[in-house]
Structure 1
Amino acid sequence: MTPRHVAVIDIGKTNAKLALVDLATEAEIAVVTRANTPRAGPPYPHFDVEGHWNFILDALAGFHADHGVDAISVTTHGACAVLLDADGDLAAPVLDYEHDGPDKVAAAYDAIRPDFAMTGSPRLPGGLNLGAQLHWLFDRDPSLLARTASIVTYPQYWGFRLTGALATDVTSLGCHTDLWCPDSGTVSPLVATLGIRGKLAPPRHPMDRLGKLTPAVAARTGLPAKTSVACGIHDSNASLFPHLIRREAPFAVVSTGTWVIALAVGGADVKLDAARDTLMNVAATGQAVRSARFMGGRSYDLLTAGRHVDPSLAEMEAVVARRIMLLPSVVAGSGPFPHAGARWINDEPAEGTGLRAAAVGFHLALMTQTCLSLIGARGPTVVEGAFSRNTAFLTMLAAASGRDVIATASSTGTSLGAALLLSDGRAPHPAPQAIVTPPGTAWAEYAAQWQRTTRHSDA
């Protein structure tokens, strides 16, 4: 029997969330959040998992008291794994992937990592390659490998805390880790090289049921011990999942948060460029999906100083007419222009104005379209998450792509997908959406000029 109320644990890079999704209406009927602020150390920047755990338990108890919780699902950001000792406790703090520690042994890691052609994982800075994290952690602490009894990917860590069951999932292993081969659906040779073949928890599909609640969790939250917990899923694949089960290819999905993740289903058979942050993702179904990304949410925060402004149509048209543009890239080291520096042309608008909001939205849309073009996207583009409510972003994305853009109404783009893992593949009620069609030629000409100007920015 399909549950009605699914509590979704959603650990993003910026915020930890708990959302209660009503599968009968596909609406989020309750959402609570907590900042995901890494602890500085020692021994290195790491995530506050105990703070998150208490937040999760309290929120589950509140949701169940107010609405009733029938099942639990989990989705998290990628590039994260948890090392557990024989007692199930942390063998080491959970590393923040933005820490540059792994870069200190980059040459040694580069000598052992598999080729991009095998894994679909581009070489990324810091700990964005999970294999690089593990290599650095074992290098800095020679006793850690022996202390580590099990390694679980991040969604399954929370599943382990809930149920006591150990697992990894194919979407998290397939998220630029260097540890997975998407075409064969098997671990890569790096697993043996790192000495973790017997420690990496068994790979499972996100829809699998991980187990029931432990007695301690049931007692703390008031949920029945029989409450089912899904295995869990990488967040951008959670955004993709509803569309995989209800849309005909070709189409693209853009998941927006700290990262903007573009995924193309049934697109052109293009060769990916590892130097421009394109990669092979692994969907909940196990299929390989071309994807590309950049730190769009982080860029938005830096450019707006946290002050959200909704530009008017007149302000957007003024930016188009005056060709006010922000060229890439705001966050260096990743994305389609990893080596380019940001610069304004035709005057930088003042912070807090509609002109700046419009120009920032256009910049993010054009970065997104660059990602979509690199992965051969075709058909309509579905936008999930924070940018689904940004009119400047949506309109310029339609102009730049020449294709319809579908904006979903969900405020938490990943929550519905994670909840649907417990629906046995049924998604009878399409989420509310708005379709943005390509605007006039002036917008398309603006996009074309931006694209011409940035054509060699990645060099």
Structure 2
Amino acid sequence: MSRTPVIVIFDVGKTNKKLFLFDEQYRIIFERTARFTETTDEDGDPCENLESLRLSVFDSLMEVFKRKDIEVKAINFSTYGASLVYINEQGHPLTPLYNYLKPYPAPLKQQFYETYGGEAAFSVQTASPVLESLNSGMQLYRLKYERPEVFKTMRYALHLPQYMSYLLTGVACSDITSIGCHTNLWDFSNNRYHDWVKQEGLLDKLAPVMASTDVLPAAFPGNNYHVGTGLHDSSAALIPYLVNFHEPFVLLSTGTWSISLNPFNNTPLTAEELEQDCLCYMTFQGKPVKASRLFAGYEHEQQVKRISEFFHQPAMRYRSLDYDASIPLLPAGNFADRDLKTFSSDVAAYHQLMYDLAVKQQHSTGLVLKGVVVKRIFVDGGFGKNVIYMNMLAMLFPDIEVYAASMAQATAMGAALAIHHTWNRKSLPNNLIDLKYYSVQQDAAL
């Protein structure tokens, strides 16, 4: 029996940890989802169970390699960002995997920004809003000053995707998609580490940078396969779109956060844009991607609870409501401040919620559209399945084609596509993404 060549992708989110096997046509032939119980760090703050994650990689691969119907050609990783694993010379973690929501000490934050030019100027240089622990470079700075004995014995600080790769290769490396993602580490104007990294003696603690398209030989037992260096998940999710579309577009990736990514906007971030939650990501080719963020998915979740409880309706009902253009809408505002008694029905209230969110999204996405002619907006994730939201977004962007874009696991597929040339004998496919077009008046499937 001939064995099917596959690539194994570990896609590690904050909540779900997924394993995928893709064949050479990028069809998913196997998937598994797991959740791990969080543990706590030395301060009692919740954090990822790093040991459970490590063991799950090894256990999963041992199962995969037992299969007789497949041949593993490559392995790669995509994970959430802003998370560092500090390893010693033997590769063992020295601390818990600190949560990027861990409170940051105010005196240390003040010390950092006063030393390096102030928040506004520094943020412009690093394309990083002031996000405290979400700026992963600040986590490393904190370790140096709060736990100098750990800092001294640390060999490398690896971002989580690269730690996952290290588990299978024993080779420590850094990757530009992680370094360039609101870390405070990268000087975007000079395309190198920021001067503070050298001044604080951190350069030796950061592993050599390798290209996102590079692969390494595996140290983990199995057949002769390649291992990628891993990617930050937001950058990975953009790859299928960059592969399939070459005319300028914006990808609106929706989930807890709605992130507008414009890989065709190379203008430097301004202080005003940074104050409005703009930032830069890096493509897997090392090019800046101007982006803006909106906490829309979280707001949607909270307000749907409020509507369903007030009108005594199940929350699931709002996942499949049809768009009704005849429902009158109030001027856009903050839905959380609205009195639900003013709405004639839960359907009217929900339409208003989606309109309020869509108008906020219009502003947020507009920040990355300035100065660039974009023909299409692709909406990926949960909101792309919401016909009310999609119709309202099309109405608010009448001069741009708005599409709901769906594909099987964009983040995982992006990690597979990044190292396509190392494992796949076939050409890159051009049918990875299904599009549904929304006009101002009506929607029509392509």
What TM-score does the superposition give when structure 2 sets the normalisation length?
0.83
* CA deviations over 1:390-430 (Å, ceiling 9, x no partner): 22332222222222223232242311111101213953232
8 Å CA contact 1:6, 1:22 repeated in 2? yes
Q: Give the greater-gyration-radius structure (CA).
A: 2
8 Å CA contact 2:296, 2:357 repeated in 1? yes
Percent identity over paired residues: 25
1:302 CA displacement:
3.1
CA shift in 2, pair 1:270/1:193, >3 Å: closer
1:198 and 2:204 are equivalent in the alignment: yes
Superposed, 1:10-409 pairs within 5 Å as 10-24=11-25, 26-35=26-35, 38-43=38-43, 44-65=45-66, 68=70, 69-103=72-106, 105-113=108-116, 115-124=122-131, 126-209=132-215, 211-215=216-220, 218=221, 223-224=222-223, 226-267=224-265, 269=267, 271-272=269-270, 273-305=273-305, 307-308=315-316, 309-313=318-322, 316-317=324-325, 320-323=327-330, 327=334, 342-344=336-338, 347=341, 358-376=351-369, 378-402=374-398, 403-409=400-406
Moved over 6 A (4+): 348-351
Gaps of 5+ in 2: 306-313
8 Å CA contact 2:253, 2:260 repeated in 1? yes
1:74 CA displacement:
0.8
Give distance in 2, aligned partners of 1:36 and 1:231: 23
Aligned residues: 413
Gaps of 5+ in 1: 329-341, 442-459
Give distance in 2, aligned partners of 1:349 and 1:58: 53
1:362 CA displacement:
4.0
Give distance in 1, aligned partners of 2:152 and 2:415: 34
* CA deviations over 1:89-108 (Å, ceiling 9, x no partner): 11211110011134452211
CA shift in 2, pair 1:40/1:304, >3 Å: farther
Secondary structure, in 3 states, of the residue corresponding to 2:407?
coil
Give distance in 1, aligned partners of 2:95 and 2:281: 27
1:65 CA displacement:
4.8
* CA deviations over 1:361-387 (Å, ceiling 9, x no partner): 444443333221011262211222333
8 Å CA contact 2:36, 2:52 repeated in 1? no
Secondary structure, in 3 states, of the residue corresponding to 1:406?
strand
Give distance in 1, aligned partners of 2:39 and 2:107: 21
Match for 1:380: what amino acid? Answer: R
Give the superposed CA RMSD: 2.9
8 Å CA contact 1:171, 1:281 repeated in 2? yes
CA shift in 2, pair 1:268/1:133, >3 Å: closer
Give distance in 2, aligned partners of 1:350 and 1:35: 41
* CA deviations over 1:223-267 (Å, ceiling 9, x no partner): 42x221111111111111122233223111122233322111324
Secondary structure, in 3 states, of the residue corresponding to 2:165?
helix
Of 232-241 and 47-56, the range deviating more from structure 2: 47-56
What TM-score does the superposition give when structure 1 sets the normalisation length?
0.81
Of 367-376 and 89-98, the range deviating more from structure 2: 367-376
8 Å CA contact 1:310, 1:357 repeated in 2? no
8 Å CA contact 1:169, 1:233 repeated in 2? yes
CA shift in 2, pair 1:327/1:367, >3 Å: same
Secondary structure, in 3 states, of the residue corresponding to 1:262?
strand
